[in-house]
Amino acid sequence: MEYEAIKKWVTGFGIIFIVSSIIELINTILILNTQVNFKGKTYTIQELFFSSGRLPPTTPIIFVFLVCSICCFLIFGFLLIKIVSKDIDYNLMARYLLVLGVLTLLFSYIKMGYITYLEQGKVNLNGEAISFRYFVWKYNTSIIGPYSLLISWTFYTATVCAYLIIGLILSGGGLSWILELSKQQPKKV
């Protein structure tokens, strides 16, 4: 494999992590300040999550964990760029790619678990309990122009899917490179 091409690709993946994490943080701020009108009352999503008592008590904690995982992926993007910017031996770089790819997969699945837990949580609407996913769909409201609450909530899942693909590419590329380098090394007797 071409060492410089790999460095360029991994740097690109790091930039994707950084940009998508920043967009996710902006998206989170927009979601939390979105006003939803139901049953004659207007709530912001922030009030719904943190102070209304209409969601399970673990929801605010899981949402904070979701925001922390977004920040971790931001840091992970900078880490990818920093590791690739150094001149490292081919064997060590291949192992780094494998480990970073597996970590990306692991943390992406954890983040998807947070999103799924939040979507499955029940919203209490004066005796009627519906899932938060259905609540987002039913009370979909515009945030900015055509950018709605449903689109902004779906962006979390889309980002995790992109991270999973990047994790598969990194770990698969690292494993392939390790196998290729092991073929080139002379066997010890």
Quickly state the pLDDT bin for 137 (edges 50, 70, 90). confident
Domain contains 188? no
- The neighbour count for residue 155, using CB atoms within 10 Å, is 18
The DSSP code for 144 is E
Structural element, H or E, at residue 124: strand 122-125
DSSP state string for 42-65: EEEHHHHHHTSS-S-TTHHHHHHH
Quickly state the pLDDT bin for 113 (edges 50, 70, 90). very high
The predicted pLDDT at position 16 comes to 95
Instruction: Provide the token pair at 142.
Output: 């515009």
The DSSP code for 51 is T
- β-strand partners of 38: 41
Name the domain count of the chain.
Answer: 1
| pLDDT for residue 50 is more than 90 | no
* Mean pLDDT computed over 90-113: 92
- Exposure string (b/e) for 95-105, b if CB count within 10 Å is 16 or more? bbbbebbbebb
Domain contains 186? no
Give yes or no for a contact between 148 and 142, defined as CB atoms under 8 angstroms apart.
Answer: yes
Residue 28 Cα to chain centre, angstroms:
12
The pTM for the full model equals 0.86
Rounded CA-CA distance 63/24 in Å is 13
Domain holding 89, by residue range, is 3-181
pLDDT digits (tens, 9 = 90+) for 153-170: 889 999 999 999 999 999
Rounded CA-CA distance 29/51 in Å is 17
Domain contains 47? yes
Residue 62 Cα to chain centre, angstroms:
14
Domain contains 168? yes
Domain contains 59? yes
pLDDT digits (tens, 9 = 90+) for 148-157: 888 888 899 9
As to burial, measured by CB atoms within 10 angstroms (0-12 exposed, 13-18 middle, 19+ buried), residue 61 is exposed
